[in-house]
Amino acid sequence: MIKNSLKKLELKDKLLALIVPLLLLAAWQSAVSLELCSPLLLIPPLTLLDTLLYLADSGELTINIIASLNRVLVGFLIGGLSGFLLGLFMGLSPFLDRFAGPLIKASKQVPQFALMPLIILWFGVDELAKYVFIAIGAFYPMVFNTYQGVSTVSKRYRELARVFDYRGARFLTKVILPSAMPSIITGVRHSLGLSWMFVVGAEIFGADTGLGYMMAAARNMFQIDIVMAGLVVIGAIGFSINFILQVIEKRLLVWRFSSDQGASK
Amino acid sequence: MSIEKGTLQIRNLSKSFTVDGNALQVLNNINLTFPAGSFISIVGSSGCGKTTLLRILLGLETNYEGDALLDGERIEGPGTNRGIVFQDHRLLPWLTVGENVAFGLDKQNRKAKKKIVDEHLKLVGLSGFESAYPAQLSGGMAQRVAIARALANKPEILLLDEPLGALDALTRMHMQKELERLWLLEKITMVMVTHDVDEAIYLSDIVVIMSSRPGIIKQIIKVPFPRPRDRASSEFSHIKAEILKEFHLGTEYPFAYAI
Ligand SMILES: Nc1ncnc2c1ncn2[C@@H]1O[C@H](COP(=O)(O)OP(=O)(O)O)[C@@H](O)[C@H]1O
Ligand SMILES: [Mg+2]
């Protein structure tokens, strides 16, 4: 009963969530039909679809998507992993926390896009500079969330571990990490999300492949349709990454999502 | 000289904490001897040091004066010869019921582990729940799992810190029966902290009454009745009156506080 009405509610919510996009689409189409703005600045929805299909068909889209995803993967692995390790050690050691914590928090205040000129000076305009830039984006959410998760492991669980003589690696993998996992996964989600934003930023700055490059090049040639197609693809991929991670999260944290199925308290 | 396994001796035990630079005396000169295989309850008002005493016996508080001896050896840290059931069940939420029960069993192989887990879930009446998560259990069920986890290591003594405190009255009486059954079955020493005088009398061979600030032993009362005990019997109410008297809740001076 309750489950059914919950499902209905969810469906209703989903339908409601479609209203605004549909209205926007209608507004967009009428703006074009009524010739409210120049076709050079806004193309009709169907033309956009054509452009998308054309880009997909020509293989151009695939090449650029792969280039961007590649950079995200490398940058995320570097930044996410170092953020994870630093967050872990800071969470485990109050000394390291006092030592490195303030610097990391302070450096977070610098808008990361402002680092771009410096990164270019230091690392050039090649792939390395892009990896570094994306890694910086991936680093912060990972370090903070991991730290948060590890440093707030309940004293009650630490005591239990002591009672059962869990130490070293066993303590880390059986108590600390599982307890911190919800936070860590949140970190991964934000970290990957930012990596995806940063890759586009980096490619707009200067690249010869990637979705950001595709859009920047199209803008130079006033190909508004390709610019808009790029936006749609970037949004869709960002959305999909987040969706996939949410599915993984539900799988990994099944213990958190299972409370409603059993006996009541 | 050999001491039977599960014998607890507490000699001149004192414990103080440092709070804001001042020493707070929590336990003062405690002397107790618990024979192996007995069921002991410790009753006393909140803050009188019951949990601290259990934590010393468990080995979580190592900085104490005097001696707490298990089988003649001074307790200096946790060990698998002692099991604990905390007031909060303290199951790890990311592990299934079965994995929680197996939490203390690292040295065995998987098959041996599974056998022990099955046995102990059966013991506490939760066969078939091994793949449930703690969040899916009721309070009473979670506490049973916690008991199974503590017993799975085959401890010589089981320490219980208000294990039934969070349960409703009916579940609680049911669990008291279960605890008695387990105690008769396992033949180990059990030391239980409780607020509930009826519970203490129902289960214990010895009831230790503590009073607070600092925690001292006020009275040690033996309960010699056969089991299972009848809560409505006159001998039961007699002992109960004797214990309540220690808390100035006896019936002899019913108006003492009203005046
Ligand atoms: N780690 C600690 N640091 C300081 N004071 C403590 C600590 N643990 C317990 N106490 C104090 O010791 C006293 C006894 O606590 P406790 O043993 O938990 O009492 P009980 O279990 O009988 O309610 C309380 O006043 C409590 O505040
Ligand atoms: Mg207590």
Measure the CA–CA gap between A159 and A77, rounded to whole angstroms.
34
**φ, ψ (nearest 5 deg) of residue B193:** -90, 135
pLDDT, residue A160, reads 95
Ion ligand 2: residues, CB within 5 A, are B 51
| Cross-strand pairs, B25 | B16
pLDDT, residue B259, reads 36
CB contact under 8 A, B90 and A261: no
Structure tokens of B237? 């109410």
**Which among B249, B238, B215, B173 is positioned nearest to B56, based on CA atoms?**
B215
Query: Strand B189-194 to strand B157-161: parallel, antiparallel, or no bridges (unpaired)?
Result: parallel
CB contact under 8 A, B80 and A165: yes
Atom 27 of ligand 1: nearest residue by CA position? B47
Atom 1 of ligand 1: nearest residue by CA position? B17
As its CATH architecture, domain A44-260 has Orthogonal Bundle (1.10)
pLDDT, residue A121, reads 87
**Which among B87, B12, B42, B39 is positioned nearest to B220, based on CA atoms?**
B42
B32 to chain A, closest Cα gap in Å: 23
| Cross-strand pairs, A74 | none
What residue has token string 């599915």? A247
**φ, ψ (nearest 5 deg) of residue B48:** -85, 0
CB contact under 8 A, A162 and B60: yes
CB contact under 8 A, A255 and B141: no
pLDDT, residue A32, reads 81
pLDDT, residue B162, reads 92
Query: Strand B65-70 to strand B73-74: parallel, antiparallel, or no bridges (unpaired)?
Result: antiparallel
* Sheet with B8-19: strands ordered across: B22-34, B8-19, B65-70, B73-74
Contacts of B99 in chain A (CB under 8 A): none
How many CB atoms within 10 Å of residue A62? 12
Q: Which atom of ligand 1 is nearest to the CA of B55?
A: 17
Contact A193, A75 (CB under 8 A): no
Q: Which range is least confidently modeled, A211-225, B146-160, B239-253?
A: B239-253
pLDDT, residue B255, reads 45
**φ, ψ (nearest 5 deg) of residue B40:** -120, 135
Task: Tell me the H-state helices in chain B.
Answer: 50-58, 97-101, 110-123, 139-152, 169-186, 197-203, 234-246
Q: Which regions of chain A are under pLDDT 70?
A: 1-9, 258-265
pLDDT, residue B103, reads 94
Please state, for a pLDDT cut of 90, what percent of chain B lies above it: 42
Task: Report which residue type is found at A14.
Answer: K
From A171, which residue of chain B is nearest by alpha-carbon distance?
A: B103
User: Judged by CB atoms within 8 Å, which residues 224-263 of A form the interface with B?
Assistant: 253-256, 258-259, 261-263
What is residue B65's DSSP assignment?
A: E
Measure the CA–CA gap between A33 and A52, rounded to whole angstroms.
21
Measure the CA–CA gap between A131 and B187, rounded to whole angstroms.
65
The pLDDT tens digits for B179-228 are: 898 899 888 999 999 989 999 999 999 999 998 777 888 889 999 889 88
C-alpha torsion B58→B64→B69→B70, nearest 10? 10
**Which among A78, A83, A196 is positioned nearest to A148, based on CA atoms?**
A83
Structure tokens of A160? 């239990």
Complex ipTM:
0.87
pLDDT, residue B59, reads 92
**Which among B89, B91, B69, B64 is positioned nearest to B79, based on CA atoms?**
B69
The pLDDT tens digits for B65-100 are: 989 888 888 998 898 889 999 989 999 999 999 999
Minimum-distance ligand to the CA of B60?
Answer: 1
Q: Which atom of ligand 1 is nearest to the CA of B45?
A: 22
Q: Which atom of ligand 1 is nearest to the CA of B18?
A: 4
Minimum-distance ligand to the CA of B48?
Answer: 1
Question: Smallest Cβ distance to B141: which of A259, A261, A263?
Answer: A263
Contacts of B96 in chain A (CB under 8 A): 255
pLDDT, residue A7, reads 66
CB contact under 8 A, B94 and A165: no
Q: B254 pLDDT exceeds 60?
A: no
Minimum-distance ligand to the CA of B49?
Answer: 1
Contacts of A156 in chain B (CB under 8 A): 86, 88, 90
pLDDT, residue A178, reads 95
From B139, which residue of chain A is nearest by alpha-carbon distance?
A: A265
Measure the CA–CA gap between B189 and B157, rounded to whole angstroms.
5
Segments making up each domain of chain A, as ranges: 44-260
The pLDDT tens digits for B14-31 are: 899 888 988 888 898 889
Q: Which sign, positive or negative, has the C-alpha torsion A173, A178, A179, A183?
A: positive
pLDDT, residue B1, reads 54
Contact A180, A146 (CB under 8 A): yes
Please state, for a pLDDT cut of 70, what percent of chain B lies above it: 95
Measure the CA–CA gap between B139 and A168, rounded to whole angstroms.
32
Instruction: Identify the residues whose C-beta falls under 6 Å from ligand 1.
Output: B 17, 19, 24, 26, 44, 46-52
What's the longest Cα–Cα distance across chain A?
75
Which of A163, A173, A256, A261 is the best substitution to test chain B (most B C-beta atoms within 10 A)?
A: A163
Atom 24 of ligand 1: nearest residue by CA position? B47
In what helix (H) or strand (E) does residue B191 lie, and over which residues does it extend? strand B189-194
Measure the CA–CA gap between A219 and A203, rounded to whole angstroms.
13
